[in-house]
Structure 1
């Protein structure tokens, strides 16, 4: 009899556990999106302090596909993952590459951009960007990024300068305080076509390192938010299939980004 009672108790606990799991499943009607607002043309605050850029338009379109209300939260880059984990917002859409290191803290949606990485320099600088060639040179990029990790791993004999935003690194190059900077090509192309057109040039493509750079840019969610990730994965796949991704891509860029 006691064994039978124990079996019944175990069955009740199992059922309760299953009910608890079902209770935790969340139906998402409103989603808060965290972004940096300082990485044009992906995401940026314009002169009116309004968010604009490819990721802003693209995520808003995905929200329409998912039939959810989305609101944006601007967050400095170096605290963007901690703020997600602290429930300040529900997903990061901010030019974030889905690296193995970041996967220790968060899960990623399907990739929605994959772009080359460039090194740019002053117009008189050389195009050899090997670690040996850049020994003693000052190289800048945004801190807490894959580009910072890449420089710190391979360019130990160079002077690495990390900045809160990529735009600050760009401006230091334009003002002669750096020899080179590296970042995603789309961001640097925007700089070269505008503030950097008189001072700077593309020096070379930066070789991708699979362990550092990852497969491309994706949204980051908390590991517990399985349903949220699935929603975004489905919407991203649909946007690629029905051409809506390309429509927004063509608005912001002159060439494919995926």
Structure 2
């Protein structure tokens, strides 16, 4: 995460007059968690959760559209106050940022041609080129568990799906929830399917995705933890989840 790119700010729909403003880094290129609609607005489950959490703590939130590689640098340089971008809680990231408790946890899986006969083993992926989003825990998993497999590194999962459909890569290793919605259930995904087992190994994928904050923001972290539990308890989380998925993305 070294690249530092310009960020555009968009107001959340939950602005509260006179309230504390919370600037939130979001991606806008990770459907259905975070994506751009036809009006140029950032929408998705991460965005709806951001709005709900800001409302719960009584804050006015502003979205800061940020490329994935620039997320943590933007947070640390004060361009945003929090990252809500399905960022996995890992020991490496926890050395730099402070995480809330998890707010979702979805496994990663491989996608390939349904008739290709690939398996999620070294033998099954031998000679194959696998697409993965760079700088992610999926990237770490592939590098650690499949060091001899050729990787295609991409800036977003959307770019991976374009090359997978075009045959420029043989398989993709992506979030299972977003892969289903953003690719497999679209016309471009016809003839493709998941293969192998779901992967959620803590060594690579941490303990789920949390909200990243600057170290020392203990009051904000406590308030956001309380807000996560509140929207789980009052049904708001389920309402948002069910707009995008048929399964609970919070995990166990």
User: What is the TM-score of this pair, normalised by structure 1?
Assistant: 0.86
Contact 1:174/1:199 (<8 A) preserved: no
> Match for 2:165 among 158, 171, 174?
174
> Match for 1:152 among 137, 143, 153?
143
What is the RMSD of the two structures over their aligned residues, measured on CA atoms? 1.3
Q: Deviations over 1:99-158 (max 9, x none)?
A: 111101001112111112111002222241112321221001110000000111111111
Larger proportion of strand: 2
The aligned residue for residue 5 of structure 1 is none
Q: Deviations over 1:38-73 (max 9, x none)?
A: 000101112221011011111101111111100000
> Could you tell me how far apart the structure 2 residues matched to 1:208 and 1:62 are?
26
Contact 2:111/2:193 (<8 A) preserved: yes
Contact 1:36/1:77 (<8 A) preserved: yes
Contact 2:165/2:189 (<8 A) preserved: no
2:58 paired with 1:67 = yes
> Match for 1:192 among 165, 184, 189?
184
Larger proportion of helix: 1
> Could you tell me how far apart the structure 2 residues matched to 1:205 and 1:162 are?
22
> Could you tell me how far apart the structure 2 residues matched to 1:77 and 1:222 are?
17
> Could you tell me how far apart the structure 2 residues matched to 1:110 and 1:186 are?
20
Contact 2:118/2:125 (<8 A) preserved: no
> Could you tell me how far apart the structure 2 residues matched to 1:44 and 1:178 are?
23
Q: Which has the larger radius of gyration?
A: 1
> Could you tell me how far apart the structure 2 residues matched to 1:66 and 1:105 are?
25
> Could you tell me how far apart the structure 2 residues matched to 1:60 and 1:82 are?
23
Moved over 2 A (4+): 204-209
Determine helix, strand or coil for the equivalent of 1:101.
helix
The offset of 1:187, in angstroms, is 0.9
Contact 2:118/2:124 (<8 A) preserved: no
The offset of 1:161, in angstroms, is 0.9
Contact 1:109/1:220 (<8 A) preserved: yes
Question: Where do 5+ consecutive residues of structure 1 fail to align?
Answer: 1-27
The aligned residue for residue 230 of structure 1 is 222
Aligned length: 231
